Structure 1
Amino acid sequence: MEGMWVARLAEATNWEPLRLEIPWDRMEEDLGTALPEDYKKLFETFGTGELSKFIRILGSDATGQFDLPHIWHSYLDTSPEAGPDPVLAPYGMYRPGRRGLIPWAFAEMDCSYFWLASADEDPATWPIVTRGNPYPWQEVGVSTSEFVHRVLTDPEFEPFSVAHLMPTPDFYPIVPIGSES
């Protein structure tokens, strides 16, 4: 069953899977937690780019612009240690040993996508936490690739869906293939 939603997304976008080899152990060591296997398969399949010119998945990017650990560290650098960042309230940023947010994608309309992560929980069970224009913070209990697939293809997946705006999903690589590290 693992990878079913990734395969469905690749098919919907008419994308030939890249099968990238990413140094996940280095990234996970930096974060202090494992990442969801479903997300890893999604990134290995697509690499860095935009889905339907709407969602940008973070991953391993030598430029730092779409690099998940780099973006997470930038949040930590601006997020006070003593309490929740007002921008992220009622959540805080993930820190090893604590439950909190790890960013995994950004989108148009001021949408932000995070996992509510804890190193003590199976990453496959982490809910997706998102907010965007016009909806407030919401938790969604689906895998990363199912969430992305439904945002792009399911007009009933409200308030997240953009399927009515872009009925034919596609993918545009941003970082040249092979430059992911």
Structure 2
Amino acid sequence: MWVERIIAVTGWEPLNLDLPWDGIEEALGTSLPEDYKKLAEVFGRGEFSEFMRVLSVDSTGQFDLLHIWKAYLGDSPEDGPDPVLKPYQMYRPDRRGLIPWAFGEMECSYFWLASAEEDPASWPIVTRGNPYPLQQVRMSTSEFICRVLTDPEFEPFSIARLFPEPDFFPMD
């Protein structure tokens, strides 16, 4: 439902990509939210309204979810909260933690607070951005993106007033 709304507001023609989720989920040690996978298959690599870049499968590594997660792991302590993301830590298959799924302008980062024991559809979103602190939001990935793009009352996340006509720019 939310992915279809994003398609409608951006005027995007769905790509319906076949992405290698099995290998990615095996490397992560958990499944990913279904609505996120559908979004990545429909849009591919790109940027929403010159603001938000959703990670996916990217052979260059620049916007590749698995590559970015591993880079965070390399900078993150094995035990305890990550100093940059305190009070959270990065996800590891044996414990709850953050998995990055998008980046935005103004130093914004978007994560799931993931656990292999929980249904990925129930994972909260954790946001980090300038000037607001880390915040937790309970909604699906695609609902969050749709509201960022279209809901001017969805503060402090919305860009609807800045970009009243949402769009998507593919990155080849």
Shift of 1:96: 0.5
Q: Find the aligned partners of 1:136 and 1:108 in 2 and give their Cα distance.
A: 15
Structure 2 Cα separation of the partners of residues 117 and 83 of structure 1: 16
Q: 1:126 aligns with which of 123, 126, 132?
A: 123
Query: In structure 2, what is the equivalent of residue 52 of structure 1?
Result: 49
1:60-139 equivalences in 2 (<5 Å) = 60-139=57-136
30-39 or 78-87: which moved more? Answer: 78-87
Q: What percentage of residue pairs aligned between the two structures are identical?
A: 72
TM-score (norm 2): 0.99
For residues 10 and 33 of structure 2, the distance between their equivalents in structure 1, rounded to whole angstroms, comes to: 22
Q: Which runs of 5+ in 1 are unaligned?
A: 177-181
RMSD across aligned C-alpha pairs, in angstroms?
0.6
Give the Cα separation in 2 of the matches to 1:91 and 1:173: 32
Name stretches of at least 5 consecutive residues in structure 2 with no aligned partner.
none
Of 135, 140, 144, 2:141 maps to 144
- Tell whether 2:168 aligns with 1:171: yes
**TM-score when normalising by structure 1:** 0.94
1:129 counterpart SS class: strand
Counterpart code for 2:85? L
How many pairs does the alignment contain?
Answer: 172
Q: Which runs of 4+ in 1 moved over 6 A?
A: none
1:50-78, Cα deviation, whole Å (9 max, x unpaired): 00010000010000000000000000011
Of residues 138, 153, 156, the one that matches 1:156 is 153
CA distance in 2, matches of 1:83, 1:7: 39
Residue aligning to 1:26: 23
Question: Is the aligned partner of 1:38 residue 2:35?
Answer: yes
Q: Secondary structure of 1:112's match?
A: strand
Letter of the 1:68 counterpart: L
Per the alignment, in what secondary structure is the counterpart of residue 136 of structure 1? coil
Equivalent-residue separation in structure 2 for 1:126 and 1:113 (angstroms): 12
